[in-house]
C-alpha cells in the first residue's frame, strides 16, 4: 500500500459542512455525550453522499484521538488549550494520516471549518500545523503509530494487567472490529444462512467456538459448541437477507457464548433434579436484549425438537419434562427496556411454540436492591440460574465504541467495581442451592473481572468457582477464576490510510480474527 493517497472523492471532500458537523459531534463527546446517542443525529443531518465520509471521519478521528493529540503537542510551538482549535486540528491530522483525502482538500476544508465554528483567528495556526504534517506524512504517521492511542491511565492499567499482550492489545484497540452474526435457530441455521449470504454476494465464513466446563460433580463436564458467522467485510444490516424478518442478529462472537453456557449448565443441573417440574431463571442487566433473545431462541428450538429444558432426560433415563419456565429479565433504564422489546419483536420472540410453557417477565428495576420474592427468599424459592451481564467500563468494546477512551476516567473503574459488587451481593441470596450464576462483562480490566470474582468468593463461602477445561475450550485466556477474551488479532498493514469513500466499518485493513474483550466466570451455589 502506498504511503500517499492517490484518489479522492470530490463530492465528499469539498463539503465543509460535513467537517463542521463532525467537529461539533467531537466537542459534544468531549463534554460527556456518547457516540451512540450522537451518531444517528449526525448522519441524519447530512445528505446521502456525505454520510459515509462523516462516519469514517468521526470514527477514525476517535480511534486515533490520543495519538493525534500527542502529535499535535509536539508540532505546536506553543501550547494549544482551546478545545475547539485542538479538535479541528486533530480532525485535519486524521485526514492527512489515516484517510484517503488529498492534501489540498484536507487542509483547505479544515481551515474553512474552523472559521465556521467562529474561530477564524486560529485559521493561520490550523493551516501551519496541517501543512507541516502534509510535508512528511509518512514520518508523522509512524510517530503517531509508535505507541498506543489511549489515555495514559488506561494504558498503564492494561500494561499492569496484560503485560505479555500489551503491544498487540493497545494497537488492536485502534482498529475497527469484525462483524459477526447469530442465526435465529427458530428460523434457520448457520450453514443455510451462509448460503443465503453467498447468494446476496456477501462473503462470510463459519466460526466454531467450543467450550468445556467442569460442573463440579466428580469428573463430569458440559461440552458446548456455538456456531456463528463472521463477515469478511462488514455490511449495513439492510443488505443482510431477511434481517427485518428476524432470521439473524448482529452480535459479537464472544457475546454469543453467554446463552449456550448458562443453558447447558442448567440442563445438566436439571438432569438430576427432584421435585418441582418448574424452573425460574433470571437475566439481570438484560438490555438491549441480545443475550436474552439468544436464550429464548435456544429454549424455542429445544421445545420444537423435544430436547433441552422441556424434555430433560434424568439419570434413570426417564423423560420428566419441565411444565413451566419462568424467565425474568431486568434492567434499570426505561429506554433500554424499550430496546429489549424492539429486538424481541424483530426476532418474533417469544415464539408461540413455547408460550404455553414459558412465562417471560421484563421489569425496569435496580439490580442492586430488587428482590424477586422479598418476603420468601430461601433455598427452595430462588432462581435455578442467573445470567448477570454486569455493568462495566466496556473497555473490551473500544473498537466498536472508540468514544470510550474519551469518556471513561480512572475513577470510573473503582465506581463500576463497587456497583458490580452490590449487584452480586443482592442477587446471590436469590439463587437456589445447586444453581449457577454466570458472570459476564465486556471489560478487559482485571479489577472488574477476575479480581471481582476472587473477592466475591472470599465473601461468600457458599459460592464455588466452576472451572473451564482449558484443553477443550478454544477461546479466551484461562484466569484464576473464569476466562478472559482479549480483542486482539494479527495486523499486517495496520493504521495505513483507507479510502475516503469507504465506510469505516466496511474497511478491512487487517484480517479480523477475534471477537471483543469479554470475561466469563461460572459460580455454583453449595450448601454450607
Per-residue model confidence as pLDDT tens digits over 358-373: 889 999 999 999 999 7
Checking if the pLDDT of 235 tops 90, the result is: yes
* pLDDT at 494 (0 to 100): 42
Residue identified by cell 505546536 is: 76
Checking if the pLDDT of 179 tops 90, the result is: yes
* pLDDT at 356 (0 to 100): 66
Grid coordinates belonging to 425: 451481593
Instruction: Tell which residue, 72, 101, 82, 76, has the closest CA to residue 23.
Output: 82
Q: Using pLDDT thresholds of 50, 70 and 90, give the confidence band for residue 209.
A: very high
Give the three-state DSSP class for 466: strand
The torsion region of residue 475 among left (phi > 0), alpha (psi -120 to 50) and beta comes to: beta
Checking if the pLDDT of 111 tops 70, the result is: yes
* pLDDT at 301 (0 to 100): 74
Q: Give the ranges where 323-401 is alpha helix by DSSP (H).
A: 334-346, 352-355
Q: Using pLDDT thresholds of 50, 70 and 90, give the confidence band for residue 351.
A: low
* pLDDT at 156 (0 to 100): 98
Checking if the pLDDT of 8 tops 60, the result is: no
* pLDDT at 171 (0 to 100): 94
**Phi–psi pair at 99, nearest 5 degrees:** -125, 150
* pLDDT at 5 (0 to 100): 37
Tell me what the mean pLDDT of segment 174-192 comes to. Answer: 95
Tell me what the mean pLDDT of segment 353-358 comes to. Answer: 64
Instruction: Tell which residue, 477, 493, 494, 495, has the closest CA to residue 485.
Output: 477
Q: What distance in Å separates the CA atoms of residue 407 and residue 401, rounded to the nearest whole number?
A: 10
Grid coordinates belonging to 348: 418474533
* pLDDT at 350 (0 to 100): 77
- Torsion over CA of 395, 521, 421 and 296, rounded to 10 degrees? 90
* pLDDT at 496 (0 to 100): 52
Q: Using pLDDT thresholds of 50, 70 and 90, give the confidence band for residue 299.
A: confident
Tell me what the mean pLDDT of segment 284-297 comes to. Answer: 96
Q: Using pLDDT thresholds of 50, 70 and 90, give the confidence band for residue 345.
A: very high
Instruction: Tell which residue, 279, 263, 283, has the closest CA to residue 440.
Output: 283
Checking if the pLDDT of 504 tops 50, the result is: no
Instruction: Tell which residue, 106, 21, 53, 43, has the closest CA to residue 504.
Output: 53
pLDDT top residue among 355 and 209:
209
Q: What percent of the chain has pLDDT over 90?
A: 76
Query: In this structure, what DSSP letter does residue 445 have?
Result: -
Per-residue model confidence as pLDDT tens digits over 87-107: 999 999 999 999 989 999 999
* pLDDT at 473 (0 to 100): 93
Tell me what the mean pLDDT of segment 484-507 comes to. Answer: 55
Checking if the pLDDT of 499 tops 60, the result is: no
Checking if the pLDDT of 162 tops 80, the result is: yes
Q: Using pLDDT thresholds of 50, 70 and 90, give the confidence band for residue 526.
A: very high
* pLDDT at 3 (0 to 100): 39
Per-residue model confidence as pLDDT tens digits over 434-444: 999 999 999 99
Mean of the per-residue pLDDT values of the chain: 88
Q: Using pLDDT thresholds of 50, 70 and 90, give the confidence band for residue 324.
A: confident
Q: What distance in Å separates the CA atoms of residue 439 and residue 522, rounded to the nearest whole number?
A: 6
Tell me what the mean pLDDT of segment 146-173 comes to. Answer: 96
Checking if the pLDDT of 150 tops 60, the result is: yes
Q: Using pLDDT thresholds of 50, 70 and 90, give the confidence band for residue 309.
A: low
Q: What distance in Å separates the CA atoms of residue 478 and residue 475, rounded to the nearest whole number?
A: 9
Checking if the pLDDT of 304 tops 70, the result is: no
Neighbours of 121 (CB within 10 A): 11
* pLDDT at 503 (0 to 100): 43
Checking if the pLDDT of 490 tops 50, the result is: no
Amino acid at each position: 500500500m502506498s504511503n500517499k493517497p492517490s484518489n479522492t472523492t470530490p463530492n465528499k471532500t469539498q463539503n465543509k459542512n460535513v467537517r463542521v458537523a463532525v467537529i461539533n459531534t467531537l466537542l459534544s463527546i468531549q463534554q460527556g455525550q456518547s457516540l451512540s446517542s450522537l451518531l444517528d443525529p449526525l448522519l441524519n443531518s447530512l445528505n446521502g453522499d456525505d454520510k459515509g465520509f462523516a462516519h469514517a471521519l468521526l470514527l477514525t478521528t476517535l480511534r486515533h484521538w490520543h495519538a493525534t493529540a500527542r502529535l499535535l503537542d509536539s508540532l505546536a510551538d506553543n501550547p494549544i488549550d482551546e478545545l475547539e482549535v485542538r479538535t479541528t486540528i486533530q480532525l485535519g491530522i486524521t485526514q492527512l494520516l489515516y484517510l484517503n483525502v488529498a492534501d489540498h482538500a484536507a487542509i483547505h476544508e479544515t481551515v474553512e471549518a474552523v472559521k465556521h465554528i467562529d474561530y477564524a483567528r486560529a485559521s493561520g495556526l490550523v493551516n501551519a500545523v496541517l501543512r507541516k504534517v502534509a510535508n512528511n506524512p509518512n514520518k508523522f504517521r509512524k510517530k503517531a503509530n509508535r505507541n498506543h492511542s489511549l489515555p495514559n491511565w488506561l494504558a498503564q492499567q492494561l500494561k499492569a494487567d496484560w503485560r505479555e499482550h500489551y503491544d498487540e492489545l493497545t494497537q488492536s484497540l485502534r482498529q475497527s472490529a469484525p462483524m459477526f452474526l447469530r442465526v435465529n435457530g427458530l428460523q434457520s441455521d448457520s450453514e443455510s444462512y451462509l448460503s443465503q449470504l453467498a447468494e446476496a454476494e456477501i462473503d462470510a465464513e463459519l466460526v466454531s467456538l467450543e467450550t468445556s466446563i467442569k460442573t463440579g460433580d466428580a469428573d463430569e463436564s458440559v461440552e458446548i459448541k456455538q456456531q456463528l458467522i463472521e463477515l469478511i467485510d462488514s455490511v449495513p444490516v439492510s443488505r443482510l437477507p431477511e434481517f427485518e424478518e428476524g432470521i439473524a442478529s448482529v452480535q459479537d462472537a464472544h457475546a454469543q457464548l453467554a446463552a449456550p453456557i448458562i443453558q447447558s449448565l442448567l440442563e445438566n443441573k436439571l438432569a438430576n433434579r427432584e421435585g418441582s417440574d418448574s424452573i425460574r431463571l433470571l437475566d439481570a442487566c438484560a438490555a438491549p436484549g441480545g443475550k436474552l433473545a439468544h436464550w429464548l431462541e435456544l429454549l424455542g428450538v429445544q421445545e420444537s425438537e423435544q430436547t433441552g429444558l422441556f424434555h430433560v432426560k434424568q439419570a434413570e433415563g426417564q423423560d420428566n419434562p419441565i411444565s413451566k419456565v419462568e424467565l425474568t429479565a431486568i434492567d434499570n433504564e426505561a429506554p433500554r427496556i424499550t430496546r429489549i422489546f424492539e429486538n424481541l419483536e424483530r426476532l418474533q420472540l417469544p415464539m408461540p411454540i413455547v408460550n404455553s410453557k414459558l412465562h417471560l417477565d421484563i421489569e425496569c428495576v435496580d439490580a442492586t436492591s430488587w428482590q424477586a420474592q422479598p418476603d420468601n427468599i430461601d433455598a427452595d424459592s430462588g432462581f435455578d440460574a442467573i445470567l448477570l451481564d454486569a455493568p462495566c467500563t466496556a473497555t473490551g468494546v473500544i473498537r466498536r465504541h472508540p468514544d470510550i477512551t474519551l469518556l471513561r476516567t480512572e475513577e470510573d473503574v473503582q465506581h463500576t467495581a463497587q456497583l458490580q459488587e452490590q449487584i452480586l451481593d443482592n442477587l446471590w441470596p436469590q439463587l437456589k442451592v445447586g444453581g449457577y450464576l454466570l458472570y459476564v462483562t465486556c471489560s478487559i480490566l482485571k479489577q472488574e473481572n477476575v479480581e471481582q470474582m476472587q473477592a466475591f468468593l472470599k465473601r461468600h463461602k457458599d459460592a464455588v468457582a466452576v472451572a473451564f477445561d482449558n484443553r477443550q475450550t478454544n477461546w479466551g485466556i484461562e484466569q484464576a477464576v473464569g476466562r478472559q477474551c482479549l480483542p486482539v488479532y494479527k495486523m499486517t498493514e495496520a493504521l495505513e490510510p483507507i479510502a475516503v469513500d469507504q465506510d469505516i466499518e466496511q474497511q478491512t485493513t487487517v484480517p479480523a480474527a477475534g471477537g471483543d474483550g469479554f470475561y466469563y466466570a461460572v459460580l455454583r451455589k453449595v450448601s454450607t
